[in-house]
Amino acid sequence: MEANLGHNLRRLRGVKKLSQADVAERARLSRVAYGNIESGTAKPKVETLMRIAEVLGVKLQELLTPTRPLQAVRFRALKRMTSREQVLVDVVRWLENYNELEQALDKHVAFRFEQLVRELAKKHRGADRARFAAEHARAALDLRPDDSIRDICGLLEERGGIKVFPMQLASDAFFGLSVAKDDGGPATVVNVWDRISVERWIFSAAHELGHLLLHLGAYDVAKTEEDRGEEEEANQFASHFLMPHELFVREWNDARGLSLVDRVLKVKRIFRVSYRTVLFRLSEQPAYGTRIWQQFQIAYRARFGQSLLRSDEPVALSPGDFSAAMVEPRAADEPKRLSSEDFVEDRLSGLVRSALEQERISVGRAAEILDLDLKTMRAVISTWVE
């Protein structure tokens, strides 16, 4: 227990950016006493551990529970990110809960891309392989060439057999990661922090799907540096997965009477992607090339009197703008504005409800799996209707 305790204390202290002296003072301990607890040379009382847990903002159980290390995971983030270890802990606990429910309820969804992964392993890396992967991944998910994607979470989970974890992490240094099948997946994790656009969430989910199909050989938790070639290929995959070529060309041509800015923004709204994704696709075409980026920025600045910063997404999105995008009949319909409700993982919640109704888990366990307090969990249960 002491080894788990010490490891967890160091990890949680790092997340909170607290020194040993900080924790000791707030937990009403001497610096030496706390240091002995963290090093494993002292056996603390339960009351002491409860005070430390309160300082670190966690339950007592989290201080004592060992965590299975992930190995077959692709986790690249900017160097300024300091919470990598905690993210991996949260992901493995989420995966264990998810797999436990699937097994208990016999609700496993098969991975739909096994054959495609084998075919892709024989092809050379590059844009052609990425486009091939996107086209065949859509076919495996029963999407027609002119279907736009309205619910990427539901699509990946219910049809693709890929678990999706929307994680809120206050960091723009991390957008997502993925876990291979051999390590409890396949799964994708997407940072749904409210300062990251919904379009970026959707693109990140598609980007991680690209890695799962194209780069399984690079799934190693010890690797933290990005491979630019793999990242570019995953970006190309995501672009073509979300915007199939024929439909993109049709929608782009249909909007040819609009100004460049309005044209890009309309197409981005139709496909629920970032303006950067649209420009990326245009830049691949000889008629536009890489100069399209500068042309758009010049046109945008002339139109609105200011340039777009790297983190900006034109047309502000907010939860109040949500409308029933899921029932829109065609991709060519007037696009609706996006909000966080457009990126909702609901399969795990459905498994929790089934397990509760079959009395396989308690309300407390349900709250723990969904990371809710008991009051909120009971409020959710009270709203369930057939």
Band of pLDDT at residue 297, cut at 50, 70 and 90:
very high
> Are 142 and 176 part of one and the same domain?
yes
Confidence at residue 319, expressed as pLDDT on a 0 to 100 scale: 33
Category of 371 on φ-ψ map: left (φ > 0), alpha (ψ -120 to 50) or beta: left
Band of pLDDT at residue 135, cut at 50, 70 and 90:
very high
Confidence at residue 331, expressed as pLDDT on a 0 to 100 scale: 37
Residue range 108-136: mean pLDDT, rounded: 93
Tell me: pLDDT of 375 over 50. Answer: yes
Average pLDDT, the chain: 85
Total structural domains within the chain: 3
Confidence at residue 329, expressed as pLDDT on a 0 to 100 scale: 36
> Are 37 and 85 part of one and the same domain?
no
> Are 136 and 225 part of one and the same domain?
yes
* Residue range(s) defining the domain that contains residue 261: 73-342
Tokens encoding 380: 């959710």
> Are 261 and 297 part of one and the same domain?
yes
> Are 43 and 102 part of one and the same domain?
no
> Are 319 and 352 part of one and the same domain?
no
Segment (H or E) for 178: strand 176-179
Gap between the Cα atoms of 248 and 186, Å rounded? 29
> Are 109 and 168 part of one and the same domain?
yes
> Are 214 and 356 part of one and the same domain?
no
> Are 337 and 367 part of one and the same domain?
no
Tokens encoding 86: 């905690």
Confidence at residue 318, expressed as pLDDT on a 0 to 100 scale: 44
> Are 205 and 245 part of one and the same domain?
yes
What CATH number should be reported for the domain holding residue 48?
Answer: 1.10.260.40
For the whole model, what pTM was predicted?
A: 0.81
Q: What is the pLDDT of residues 46-77, one digit of tens each?
A: 888 889 888 888 888 878 877 788 899 998 77
Confidence at residue 42, expressed as pLDDT on a 0 to 100 scale: 84
DSSP per residue, 335-371: PPPP-GGGS---HHHHHHHHHHHTTSS-HHHHHHHTT
